[in-house]
Each structure stands twice: as structure tokens, then as C-alpha cells.
Amino acid sequence: MNNLYDFAYDLEKAMRNSDEFEHLKEMYKSVANDSEANRMFGEFRNVQMQLQQKQMEGQDISEEEVMHAQEIANRVQQNEKVTKLMEAEQQMSMTISELNKIIMKPLDELYSSLS
């Protein structure tokens, strides 16, 4: 039987060659080559990471922080390049989620049989 890691590396190669990943790279380049879009996207990601970090640490997120994040998100949605990048990221995330469901199916079946 082949090593599971070999299959994982095959999956990685397939992902790198997928249409979804190629589209994501194109959208990323589009944002990276536009200074305004790049700045906006960077600001959005920084705020997003800060809020996620606070949540993981169990810290409360203030109303002011939520409003600031919403303001940035609204501005980002005004930029077509950033919006397309975020849509491509979401599509890639959905693909990864679907792959994860497939990979986890044997465990799900095993544990559901115990019920």
C-alpha cells in the first residue's frame, strides 16, 4: 500500500495545477500590482488577523473594533480587484473544505457506526 504522505503530496501537486489555484494566483497578482488595492487588502487582512487572534486568546472584541473592521470591509468591497481576489479565496477555501470532507469520510463512518 502506498504511503498516505505520498497521496498527500500528489494532492498538493494537483491543487497547484488546479484551475481554482491558477485563478487565485491571477487575482493575487492583480491586487499585488495595484498599489491602492494592495494597501486596502493588506489593511483588511491585518484587521482580520488581529480580531481572530483576540478571539483565539479568549479576549473580547470591542464595538469600536467591530465597527472599524466593518468600515474596512465596506471599503474593500468597493475595489473590484480585491473583491475578485476574496471571491477566489473563498472558492479555494470551499474546495479545500470539500476535500477535507472526503479525506475525513473513513473516520466519520467509523465513529458513526459506534452510535
Report all structural domains of the chain as residue ranges with CATH numbers, in order of start.
4-112 (1.20.1500.10)
Residue 21's pLDDT band, with cuts at 50, 70 and 90, is very high
**What confidence score (pLDDT) does residue 113 get?**
84
Nearest Cα residue to 41 out of 82, 77, 70, 71: 82
Contact 88, 23 (CB under 8 A): yes
Find the mean pLDDT for residues 7-30.
96
Average pLDDT of the residues in 36-59: 94
Distance CA 8, CA 112 (A): 25
User: Residue 72 burial (CB < 10 Å; 0-12/13-18/19+)?
Assistant: middle
- The amino acid that residue 43 corresponds to is E
Stretch 16-40: mean pLDDT = 97
The residue-averaged pLDDT of 28-32 equals 97
pLDDT tens, residue by residue, 56-115: 999 999 999 999 999 999 999 999 999 999 999 999 999 999 999 999 999 999 999 886
**In contact, 15 and 79? CB cutoff 8 Å:** no
pLDDT > 80? residue 1: no
